[in-house]
Amino acid sequence: MALSRRMRSWVFSVLAVCVSACGVSEDEAVRLREGESFSDAPYCGSFGCVNPYQFCTEIFLEFGRSPPICVFDDVCERLECANSNRRCALFDGFPAQVKCIN
């Protein structure tokens, strides 16, 4: 019985790593506009952001998802889509997601 629990735990861990390692599709990817950075954005805590006007957000960057950081709702003004036929959007949730859509 203990072996089957270990095996289930191992399989779940492998699946979790594989799902979290999945990259961002080019259609969803955003990049920083020239001269912009997120150096002023603090990391999210366990309960979200200290500032109630900020969102705890993962940014879907070209090279992968960012760690959850605190950003204001105008975050898309600092970003542009990797695919120019799409637009940046902020999806609510915890953490929220910033990615490109049609």
| Model pLDDT, residue 13 | 45
| Model pLDDT, residue 26 | 87
| Model pLDDT, residue 33 | 95
Question: Is 45 exposed, middle or buried (CB count within 10 Å of its CB: 0-12, 13-18, 19+)?
Answer: exposed
pLDDT in tens, the chain (102 residues): 455 656 555 544 444 444 445 678 989 999 999 999 999 999 998 889 999 999 999 999 999 999 999 999 999 999 999 999 999 999 999 999 999 999
Q: Please state the domain extents for the chain.
A: 24-101
| Model pLDDT, residue 86 | 96
Please tell me the pTM assigned to this model. Answer: 0.71
Cα distance between residue 32 and residue 36, in whole Å = 6
| Model pLDDT, residue 17 | 42
Structure tokens of 4? 């089957």
